[in-house]
Amino acid sequence: MKADLTPLIIGFLIYLASLVSIRFGFSVAIIEIVLGMIAGNLGLKPEGWMLYLASFGGILLTFMAGAEIDTRLMKEKFKESFLIGFASFLLPFVGVFLFTHYVSGWDLKAALIAGTALSTTSLAVVYSVLVETGLSSTEIGKLIMASTFVTDMGTALALSLLFAKPTWYTAAFIAVSIGVIFLVDKFSLYILRSRFFSNKVVEPEIKFFFLVLLVFMYFANIGEGHAVLPAFVLGLLLSKHFKEQRKTKVIRDRLRTVAYALITPIFFIVGGMKISFFLIASAFTLFTLLFFLKIATKFLGVYFLAKKFIPGGSMYTTLLMSTGLTFGTIASLFGLNLGLINQIQYSVLVGVVVATAVIPTFIAQKWFMPAEMEDLTETANGRASETAALALPLPEEDC
């Protein structure tokens, strides 16, 4: 039996990424993408199990992002999140489409694929960064995630309306998604609170949510749809349950631990492995122009609205919403499989998508952390000092 070296290398990269992240304070998602890029260009190829697990990781991240959102805040800030999210989708979509079609000479459908792929904001990257920094529990973090969902909704609708050919399988996927969401939302509290499932080593609650997400993926593949949307909606509906009591919060934390230990690292590493430095180098000028065009149009679409609605983190919000990964890769692969774009165009688009997942996130974390994060850090340091003071022995009284 021939030993398979790939899982060993992937395991090493996952562990190395965590060490680098802790040492230098960068998001582990960025490190995993970069290591995946290096490994892929050194000859490591993703295996079938990795591709499926990576797809599952993207769906799982989206579900957990939905579960983190404060639905009350989302209702109160609907106007803000909708305006930021819609502008974040529309300006890059129109800008990239016009540039690739009228300047670069791509045909109409290829230009529409480019506009769709580069209009995205990666909910997976945004969620990972906000959780790692602690901002997911703040008003800024929740508003950013809500805005990101609006952006990805626009991307998904554009891809569906412009290119999808609905069939009975598509209708089945939609019907199953709605039915599953309704049933899980209605009966999930029984599973989350049941004494029968409580404190079991086999973690039946987590396996239940995994099963539900696998159902979404299966019927999405049959109906040529996207499991990301029902996964996010389900997470959004369940968010109220995960915040209700200690037991459900523990389940959420365990789910996060399982995801970040293995599943989501493979999602990010495989995303990086899809980049070909050689093909990008062959069209480097186009790659550079598209990268800066996406950043510029995201800036125009997000910054001024964020400055009005999120004054304490406008640049941070703009940079995070410039990221791309999941939907951008899906749209590019969709175009490649249908013959709407060629291999070089695909590599350039995915290269830009991954580059925007790394560079804006790095800049945001390095120089533009919002004031709320500083407050969280000061609070944590204050609590640590109080704890240390309590641990010190009291001075002896003079006799």
> 225 by DSSP, 3-state: which?
coil
First to last CA, the chain: 78
Task: Kindly report whether the global pTM for this prediction surpasses the value 0.75.
Answer: no
Q: CA dihedral in degrees (278, 283, 286, 291; nearest 10)?
A: 0
Q: Are 126 and 321 in contact (CB under 8 A)?
A: yes
pLDDT at position 4 is 79
Q: Is 393 left (phi over 0), alpha (psi -120 to 50) or beta?
A: beta
In the structure encoding, which two tokens stand for residue 306, read together? 């964020």
Residue linked to tokens 């395991």? 11
Q: CA dihedral in degrees (137, 143, 149, 150; nearest 10)?
A: 170
Q: Are 273 and 45 in contact (CB under 8 A)?
A: yes
Contacts of 118 (CB under 8 A, 6+ apart): 92, 93, 96, 290, 293, 294, 324, 328, 349, 352, 353, 356
Give the domains, in start order, of the chain with CATH numbers: 6-366 (1.20.1530.20)
Contacts of 135 (CB under 8 A, 6+ apart): 129, 141, 144, 370, 372, 373, 376
pLDDT at position 387 is 39
Spacing of C-alpha 107 from chain mean position: 30
Q: Is 25 left (phi over 0), alpha (psi -120 to 50) or beta?
A: left
Q: Which of 335, 352, 391, 326 is nearest to 96 (CA)?
A: 352
Residue 187 CB neighbours (<10 A): 10
Low-confidence ranges of the chain (pLDDT < 50): 1, 374-399
In the structure encoding, which two tokens stand for residue 179, read together? 């039915």
pLDDT digits 0-9 by tens, 110-129: 999 999 999 988 877 887 88
- State the Cα–Cα distance between residues 318 and 295, nearest whole angstrom: 9
Residue linked to tokens 């125009």? 300
Angle at 78 between CA 75 and CA 79, to 5 degrees: 150
Q: Are 291 and 283 in contact (CB under 8 A)?
A: no
- State the Cα–Cα distance between residues 27 and 12, nearest whole angstrom: 18
Helices (H), the chain: 6-24, 28-41, 48-68, 71-76, 78-98, 108-117, 123-133, 139-163, 168-193, 204-223, 228-242, 246-258, 264-273, 277-282, 284-309, 314-320, 326-337, 343-367, 371-391
pLDDT at position 202 is 62
Residue 335 CB neighbours (<10 A): 24
